[in-house]
Amino acid sequence: MTVIRYDFRSDTVTRPGAGMRRAMAEAEVGDDVFGDDPTVSRLEAVAAERLGKAAAVFVPSGTQSNLAALMSHCGRGEAFIAGQDAHCYRYEAGGAAVLGSLQPQPIAHAADGTLPIEEVAAAITGGSDAHLAPTSLIALENTSGGQVLPIAYMGEVAALARQHGLGLHLDGARAFNAAIKLGIDMAELVAPFDTVSVCLSKGLGAPVGSVLVGSAELIARARRIRKMLGGGMRQAGILAAAGLYALEHNVERMADDHARARRLAEGLARYPALAVKMPDTNIVFVDSDAAIGEPLGEHLAANGVGITGRYGQHRWVTHLDIDDAAVDAALGMVGRFFDARQGN
């Protein structure tokens, strides 16, 4: 197998650098299940403050964070509304149904990543009809496929949720990318939501971990559920230290990832065979005929450029470990692919 030199597969592939590793090595630790780890407690306090919520809990993964949130909001047999392509519905191995006994109610996304408000409203079910699982939560995702949801839209969904007495969760795995793109504070971005999950292990560059923030009551429930799901970690300060370092050093720089994604997209768009979606943030989607996409993917893989392909689409993600030279190298490789085909 060819070694991947330029890894555009995901922003999860970032490796901790020297500064982050030093912070991890020097972290003060204790047994966090006893509430004794000062570094975990500090990460939770910093995350809660930064996102403008009362409390936070550090969890091993975004998947567990979403599940703990859904189970904190909803009881057994209740329904939550989420996007058809939402991570918490589609890409978490059915955990909400399997482990939470929750019924997902998926809604098809509009082209801009939103869930049309009238369709969300129509999907809400009350408790009076014994045929129906009562809705207790709406879950949004931002960014969604790298797209930033409009602030006004999130406000409208929040108003709808309040009107029906529903909880509102944000899967904000990449919410910092959205805040940086919009040039606003995270606290402002996530203000309408009762709970928010944020990945430390994606664009922020930490090796492991997510934080779930919300009210003291919801986070206390999530903390119990985290334990139930096997997410109670002991000297987890070593991991929390990476998250603290990431929040301090790696947020503002996401603007560079967005600029590189844009430059990559513009470079790819020079080839008429590639239908490139201009990115809002750090994810570039490229459609092409399989007759082009397949050999291009093979050419890139053979030359050490890692991308992912799903549903006949290529996905390129920029991150901490992709610099300008990596973008140039990848574009050069694409150029050579099309040159060789012209030569045929």
User: Which residues of this protein are in contact with ligand PLP, per CB under 6 A?
Assistant: 61-63, 66, 87, 141, 171, 173, 199, 201, 210
The least distance separating ligand PLP from the CB of residue 276, rounded to whole angstroms, comes to 21
Q: How far is CA 223 from CA 60, 117, 161, 192, 239, in A?
A: 12, 32, 24, 22, 17
* CA-closest candidate to residue 317, choices 275, 289, 266, 283: 283
Concatenate the DSSP letters of all residues of 245-278 into one string.
Answer: HHHHHSSTTHHHHHHHHHHHHHHHTTSTT-EEEP
The least distance separating ligand PLP from the CB of residue 282, rounded to whole angstroms, comes to 11
**Which C-beta is closer to ligand PLP: that of 229 or that of 274?**
229
The least distance separating ligand PLP from the CB of residue 332, rounded to whole angstroms, comes to 29
**Tokens for 267?**
């470079």
The least distance separating ligand PLP from the CB of residue 302, rounded to whole angstroms, comes to 28
**Which C-beta is closer to ligand PLP: that of 63 or that of 288?**
63
The least distance separating ligand PLP from the CB of residue 63, rounded to whole angstroms, comes to 3
**Which C-beta is closer to ligand PLP: that of 226 or that of 288?**
226
The least distance separating ligand PLP from the CB of residue 9, rounded to whole angstroms, comes to 12
**Which C-beta is closer to ligand PLP: that of 173 or that of 180?**
173
**Which C-beta is closer to ligand PLP: that of 41 or that of 61?**
61
On whether the CB atoms of residues 211 and 59 are closer than 8 A, the answer is: yes
**Which C-beta is closer to ligand PLP: that of 125 or that of 194?**
194
**Which residues have a Cβ under 8 Å from the Cβ of 3 and sit 6 or more positions away?**
304
Distance CA 58, CA 252 (A): 22
Distance CA 270, CA 291 (A): 18
Bond preceding residue 135 cis, omega within 30 of 0:
no
**Coil, helix or strand for 307?**
coil
DSSP code of 91? S
Task: Give the CA angle between residues 239, 241, 242 to the nearest 5°.
Answer: 70
**Which C-beta is closer to ligand PLP: that of 66 or that of 195?**
66
The least distance separating ligand PLP from the CB of residue 139, rounded to whole angstroms, comes to 10
